[in-house]
Structure 1
């Protein structure tokens, strides 16, 4: 699950992003409504977690604008305003769920996962919950990976890396793309962290099989594909 957290409290946003990542999900953050709107409109997110009281563009206006643009990504509203009328306004603005503050992260996580599942079973979106490349299968909802019927156990970061590669199967995935979408870095830390994780992933996915699925594209990046790669 990939989330966008739009929250103006920097510490709260950082805490939520860290908690979601520790639960095995990818999370980006925006600290005001305008940035949040731009990221939500241009990003591929499963769930948006939106604080109601935001600078530059308040949460309800942000949600209305996204809905007017046809963006159907599920939205979970967070707010200190928890009265019935407040919740009704949030839902009528286009929110899919409303969680008053203070809240337990375990409940927030459960609600976000429910919204992601509902989106997954909606018409035309089922393919986004599972990926298959040759005999390799990945299920985003159950966090299960298998190849030729054999289950492969992955660490959360390895799962996110493989999910991103499989989402873009047959396409070159650059280091910059991996840093931004798997590690949430918007700069190159000048380390071999990607190479190390790809190597570990290869050892789990390709070891013992005649045909490798994870390929290095020299000078470009990486690619998952079922056919034999030339010069990889």
Structure 2
């Protein structure tokens, strides 16, 4: 099996070298670039399976890089690195399309663990649901093809948004706490920071719900978490009543 490819984007040579060394020790193929603009040329030739992206970069910062990749429908998983520890900065990174966020200084072993978790979850996704398709009213999920359609139209989800939706589908009708979603979708504990779940739920609703103010599919269970429902089944039961 060919090693997974990781692109490291950081303008501090010492940090790039540290990350590169540890990732190669873990069996990854690694290449590094040192400014935001270089990302777009490198991904054409290197085709990374995941990007480690520093926030503060010359020419184009990490937010801009992340946003541009997503507007180009490039769904490569992104772990954003930053020296900023505020929750608002983490949320901003996720809002721009990052799948995960780590603050400096960080443990190289934890970075490797998070990379492995993301890649493991992605490779295992088609096996999580046996159905060839999952229908939830006007939403249809095709696990084998990793596709989602709403009203018959394809919807572009980031890898983490897709994993979250598929996990909700697997447990549809069940109330899931934010901590359960963290463990099930991110494959590790987020040290109590469950806001990452709320951010991804918000993004997912923006893409699949007709009305995000009164969502029909992903329902908030106050003080607990979320539940995925099928509104068409409710309508069917009502018609039989």
* TM-score normalised by structure 2 residue count: 0.50
Residue matched to 2:124: 121
Residues 1:35 and 1:53: Cα distance change in structure 2 (over 3 Å): same
CA distance in 2, matches of 1:72, 1:118: 15
Residue matched to 1:17: 20
- Is residue 2:95 matched to residue 1:92? yes
Residue matched to 1:72: 75
Residues 1:9 and 1:72: Cα distance change in structure 2 (over 3 Å): same
Q: Tell me the CA shift for residue 76 of structure 1.
A: 0.2
Query: Any stretches of 5+ residues in structure 2 without a counterpart?
Result: 126-142, 147-241
Residues 1:46 and 1:83: Cα distance change in structure 2 (over 3 Å): same
Residues 1:117 and 1:51: Cα distance change in structure 2 (over 3 Å): same
What is the number of residues matched between the two proteins?
126
Misfit runs of 4+, over 3 Å = 121-126
Q: Deviations over 1:74-96 (max 9, x none)?
A: 00001001110000000010000
Q: Tell me the CA shift for residue 37 of structure 1.
A: 2.7
* TM-score normalised by structure 1 residue count: 0.51
Q: Deviations over 1:1-57 (max 9, x none)?
A: 210000000121122111111111111100000002321354321110000000000
- Is residue 2:54 matched to residue 1:51? yes
User: Given the alignment, which residue of 94, 101, 105 partners 1:102?
Assistant: 105
